Amino acid sequence: MVESYDVAILGSTGLVGQRYVEILSRHRWFNIVALSSSPGKHGLRYRDAVSWSIGGDIPEDIADMKVYSPKPEHFSGVDIVFSALPTEVAREIDRGFADYGFSVFSDSSPYRMDPDVPLMIPEVNPDHLNLVESQSRRFRGRLIKTPNCTSTVFTLSIKPIIDLVGEGIEMINLVTMQAISGAGYSGLSAMAIQDNIIPYIKNEEEKLAEEPRKILGRFERDHIEYRKLNIEAVTTRVPVSEGHTIVVEAIVRGDIDLDEIAGSLSKFKGVPQELKLPTAPRSPVRVYKKIDRPQPRLDRDLERGMSIAVGRLKLAGFGEYKVLKYIALGHNTIRGAAGNTVLTAELAIALGYMKR
């Protein structure tokens, strides 16, 4: 039996912050005891500070909680801080809470690629949590990051394939079709996205090229040896509310079989499944054989949004190389953000990395 932990949510009124509220309000390990918001809302009740937009009702036990400015001194007694802060303020605030002594689990991009910061997908790289042991040189507390939402979906899809083919992947080309919720509640105007596809998202292509190499890398004492993986990405924004879709083309050297690939994806499990952690899906990856799947509206909510969907598996050969093609889909604000981070915190507790 795991004892309960008191938690705070920074950036609780944003889209990802609302997902944290939704997930944590019904969590048997975590109690929400503090919330923060953007300037202008401090001191308001949560129901008055938030534009609730993820469906359903605001959890009753959270609705009347007051929201505060994100200053560590306002959060005494909190065991874990979940951060959904925007990039422009997260660098200072995430670091400030870790300096103060808090264990910070964060979705924001600053510090993701720092050598001593774990960049976590719990089924993929649980041993990377060992990096927190070297953070005492920088922080009184701990700082653990969740990857970019598209990196998470892609990396979950490619890990079972790497487990099968090893170093045989020569090159990966990606084209993403990313939901508008990835830009935040007010990130895109209706005139910009309606009847349109925006063929570029700032910094996304760079994140997709680099983050999976760290996540899939090998832990060595106090650092990560990045996996050698050549990734080229084109990232686009499409008029879909939630669910990021990725078209993947991998050039693979050696003898591979499509049925083996499908089997490796379907059977893939990790430490969270072995430990039966509360937020862990039974199957992190679901494979579809129907030619018209996956689709965001139909498949983004698999296992409460914590499973990704893979379909359109195809294999073509030329000489010693084969081209593997597939489509991956995942819920960007759950599996790609809040849900993944909550699962990481569960894993850290279960494996004994958490200090109170």
DSSP conformation class of 162: H
**Are 233 and 249 a contacting pair, CB within 8 Å?**
no
Same domain assignment for residues 195 and 244: yes
Same domain assignment for residues 305 and 181: yes
Rounded Cα distance between 288 and 311, Å, is 5
Same domain assignment for residues 45 and 141: yes
pLDDT score of 39: 83
Same domain assignment for residues 313 and 326: yes
pLDDT along the chain (356 residues), means of 10: 90 97 97 92 95 95 96 93 96 96 97 97 98 92 98 98 94 98 88 96 97 97 94 98 98 92 98 98 98 98 98 90 96 98 98 82
Same domain assignment for residues 343 and 311: no
**Catalytic: 223?**
no
Same domain assignment for residues 106 and 220: no
Same domain assignment for residues 287 and 345: no
pLDDT tens, 251-295?
999 888 999 999 999 999 999 999 999 999 999 999 999 999 999
**Catalytic: 331?**
no
Same domain assignment for residues 13 and 87: yes
pLDDT score of 117: 97
pLDDT score of 170: 95
Same domain assignment for residues 179 and 302: yes
Q: What does the chain come to in residues?
A: 356
Q: Name the residue range of residue 25's domain.
A: 5-148+338-350
pLDDT score of 356: 61
Q: Please pick, among 27, 128, 149, 331, the residue that the annotation labels catalytic.
A: 149
Q: Measure Cα distances from 205 to 112, 154, 313 in Å.
A: 15, 12, 23
CATH of the domain at 195: 3.30.360.10
Same domain assignment for residues 26 and 160: no
Q: What is the DSSP string of 274-336?
A: HHT-TT--S-SEEE--STT---HHHHTTHHHHTSEEEEEEEEEEETTEEEEEEEEEE-TTIII
Tell whether the torsion through CA atoms of 81, 84, 89 and 90 is positive or negative: positive
pLDDT score of 187: 84
**Are 252 and 323 a contacting pair, CB within 8 Å?**
yes
Residue 356, domain member (yes or no): no
pLDDT score of 251: 96
Residue 355, domain member (yes or no): no
Q: Give Cβ neighbours of residue 319 (< 8 Å, ≥ 6 apart).
A: none
Same domain assignment for residues 133 and 210: no
Q: Please pick, among 27, 74, 223, 244, the residue that the annotation labels catalytic.
A: 244
CATH of the domain at 114: 3.40.50.720
The number of distinct structural domains making up the chain is 2
Rounded Cα distance between 57 and 40, Å, is 23
Same domain assignment for residues 117 and 177: no
